[in-house]
A = this chain, B = another copy of it.
Amino acid sequence: MQEYEPQNKEFEKTIRESFAKQNLMQAFGAKLISITPGAATIELPYRDDLTQQHGYLHAGVITAIIDSACGYAALSLMPQDMEVMSAEYKINLLSPADGEKLVARGTVLKPGRKLYVVRGDAYSARDGKEKHVAAFQGTMVAVRKKD
């Protein structure tokens, strides 16, 4: 993985504050596990109310978690006066998401002035073993913060 120099020295604080304001992440019980320049990890303990009709985590839930991990990976490299929005993404679902928790890792492939191309992967973990459940690729946009 590439090494990046953050423009916002307080990127971790910025991101932890943003994460705390994401109502959906709170509603899901997701946790921001780590944030480094260009990479973020979010975990979601399995919950029965977040499933589809077969008892696995719903594709939309998996998407939301990887999307957030990738969004924060991008935000870690943005200047302090910018915030992040998802422009587009694509996800391939590889295996049903069961297990004790979902672990999503997002990384920046290419930071730009406005557009950040990101990749992410989600794993379902059980007894310390991980199964690859989803692969994600997309674009995050830097937008100027409103006062």
A residues at B contact (CB < 8 Å): 18-19, 21-24, 26-27, 48-54, 58-61, 63-65, 67-68, 83, 85-95, 109-110, 114-115, 117, 119, 132, 135, 137-139, 141
A115 to B114, CA, bound (A): 10
The answer to whether B92 and A139 touch across the interface, beta carbons within 8 angstroms, is yes
A88 cross-chain contacts in B, Cβ below 8 A: 88, 90-93, 117, 139
Given contacts A59-B64, A60-B61, A83-B53, contact A110 B132 (CB under 8 A): yes
Note all chain B residues with C-beta closer than 8 A to A18.
53
4 A-B pairs with the lowest CB-CB distances in the bound complex, closest first: A60-B64, A90-B90, A24-B58, A21-B53
Residue from the list B51, B59, B65, B119 in contact with A135, Cβ < 8 A: B119
Residues of B within 8 A of A137 (CB): 90, 92, 135, 137
